């Protein structure tokens, strides 16, 4: 079950909304996501909340009464806005009988971010999942390794401390699948398997929660003052977590170039 929002001005939900606009989700084994007081997920005013329900018929009429609970943050105490994104690969075909088939998905970061949580997702043939960061200097670091993935007990992995990923980092997700007869929950080891919503199909998704580096919303928004000559003075506050060697301002006036 996924709860996500459709922002105002958007008439229908897009396929990616369930990932990028996710507010809450539930699968077997996954605990509720409760963030520190200073972190919050922003839902634009006027949005519509949508429940995406994943059902599979079992031949018996049943009833469902699903609920979602939201904890509202105090805007004056929120320092970081939580953002959702995902690395995914939907162009793969797992051969029949393959016991250890790999599928890779990548996500490129174009600015400094802090990583807060990682969520691997596959279906019944899922065997293992690994998140690896490749930094701009080509150094590699395994961020999360799930050697025995279990579709019936999925989880969200919250980091003890935010992980800084600099601009230019590549997040590589390596999903491995067992489509062999040795997999006791394999729906059919004689069939090729492709991407699909149904449990007997497969997915390779590495979802994650992040925030913009050094963001501190308690400092307030920029203050804009118009001068008599029609120009503007913009005052803003920036408080990095570590000493900054230099601070550059980018915008349309300099083609968004992060340089003096």
Question: Would you say residue 11 lies in a domain?
Answer: no
Q: Which of 219, 228, 153, 151 is nearest to 185 (CA)?
A: 151
Percent of the chain with pLDDT strictly greater than 90 = 67
The answer as to whether 194 is a domain residue is yes
Tell me the C-alpha distance between 118 and 71, whole Å.
21
38 inside domain:
no
Pair 164, 80: CB distance under 8 Å? no
CB distance 87 to 105 below 8 Å = yes
Q: How many beta carbons lie within 10 A of that of residue 128, not counting itself?
A: 18
Q: Is residue 233 part of a domain?
A: no
What's the mean pLDDT in 97-112? Answer: 97
pLDDT of residue 166: 95
Residue 147 located in a structural domain:
yes
- Provide the CATH number for the domain around residue 156: 2.60.120.230
| 95 and 196 Cβ atoms separated by less than 8 Å | no
Domain contains 226: no
Position 211 pLDDT exceeds 80: yes
Is residue 26 pLDDT above 70, yes or no? yes
| pLDDT given at position 37 | 84
> Which has more confidence, 94 or 55?
94
Mean pLDDT along residues 135-164: 95
pLDDT at 27: 84
Give the per-residue pLDDT at 260. 66
On the question of pLDDT at 40 being above 80, the answer is yes
Q: Which domain holds residue 111?
A: 79-212
Assess if residue 221 is contained within a domain: no
> How many structural domains are present in the chain?
1
Assess whether pLDDT exceeds 90 at residue 190.
yes
Any domain includes 259 = no
Q: Work out the number of other CB atoms within 10 angstroms of the CB of residue 111.
A: 12
For the entire predicted model, the pTM comes to 0.87
């Amino acid at each position: 079950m996924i709860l996500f929002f459709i922002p105002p001005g958007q008439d229908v939900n897009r396929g990616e909304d369930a990932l990028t606009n996710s507010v809450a989700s539930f699968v077997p084994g996954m605990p509720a996501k409760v963030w520190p007081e200073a972190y919050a997920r922003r839902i634009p005013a006027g949005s519509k909340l949508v429940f995406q329900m994943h059902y599979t018929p079992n031949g018996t009429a049943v009833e469902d009464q699903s609920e979602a609970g939201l904890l509202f943050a105090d805007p004056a105490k929120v320092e970081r806005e939580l953002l959702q994104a995902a690395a995914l690969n939907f162009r793969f075909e797992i051969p029949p009988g393959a016991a250890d088939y790999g599928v890779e998905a990548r996500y490129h970061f174009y600015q400094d971010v802090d990583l807060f949580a990682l969520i691997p997702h596959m279906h019944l043939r899922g065997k293992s999942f690994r998140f690896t960061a490749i930094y701009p200097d080509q150094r590699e670091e395994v961020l999360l390794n799930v050697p025995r993935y279990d579709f019936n007990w999925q989880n969200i992995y919250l980091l003890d401390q935010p992980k800084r990923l600099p601009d230019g980092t590549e997040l590589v997700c390596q999903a491995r699948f067992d489509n062999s007869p040795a997999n006791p929950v394999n729906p059919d080891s004689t069939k090729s398997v492709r991407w699909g919503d149904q449990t007997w199909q497969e997915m390779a998704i590495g979802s994650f929660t992040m925030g913009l580096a050094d963001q501190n919303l308690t400092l307030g928004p920029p203050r804009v003052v118009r001068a008599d000559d029609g120009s503007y003075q913009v005052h803003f506050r920036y408080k990095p977590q570590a000493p900054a060697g230099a601070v550059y301002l980018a915008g349309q006036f300099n083609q968004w170039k992060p340089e003096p």
